[in-house]
């Protein structure tokens, strides 16, 4: 049973919506996602989706990873490895596209630990997500 990393496809959107709802996240629309919902990666095991994330590519050499999510019912011991694959995969896309910095915002202790293990700087001082719906 091998883990596989691949690009998001249109057929993944319904799964992502189910995961976001199960984790208590707001409903997302494709037009808020990079490449209209296709600008990210997903990890599968035996064709079963396990975790996914998105990568926003800016007009500067800064990329932004966001909306990293996993199947809330997936309990296998390789869950952390799946999330690492997403973070590393998104970073790889940014590197291959010539970006110099990858940013992310998060509060999940598990994801913060994964980022630290992968060499990311995680500020010990809390910060706040600031957003405003303008349309």
Beta bridge partners of 62: 101
**Of the candidates 11, 68, 56, which has an alpha carbon nearest to the alpha carbon of residue 32?**
56
**Mind listing the pLDDT tens digit for each residue in 12-39?**
999 999 999 999 988 889 999 999 999 9
**Mind listing the pLDDT tens digit for each residue in 63-119?**
999 999 999 999 888 889 999 999 999 999 999 999 999 999 888 888 889 889 998
- Domains, the chain, in order of start with CATH, read 3-117 (3.40.630.30)
Report the predicted TM-score, pTM, of the whole model to 2 decimal places.
0.89
**Of the candidates 54, 57, 121, 51, which has an alpha carbon nearest to the alpha carbon of residue 80?**
51
The tokens 């001082």 sit on which residue?
A: 125
């Amino acid at each position: 049973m091998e883990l596989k990393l691949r690009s998001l496809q249109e057929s993944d959107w319904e799964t992502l919506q189910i995961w976001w709802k199960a984790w208590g996240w707001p409903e997302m629309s494709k037009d808020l996602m990079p490449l209209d919902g296709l600008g990210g990666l997903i990890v599968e095991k035996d064709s079963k989706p396990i975790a996914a994330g998105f990568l926003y590519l800016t007009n500067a050499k800064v990329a932004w990873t966001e909306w990293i999510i996993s199947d809330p019912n997936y309990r296998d011991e390789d869950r952390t490895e799946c999330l690492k694959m997403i973070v590393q995969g998104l970073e790889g896309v940014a590197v291959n596209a010539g970006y110099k910095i990858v940013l992310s915002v998060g509060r999940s202790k598990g994801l913060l630990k994964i980022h630290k293990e992968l060499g990311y700087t995680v500020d010990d001082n809390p910060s706040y997500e600031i957003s405003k719906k303008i349309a």
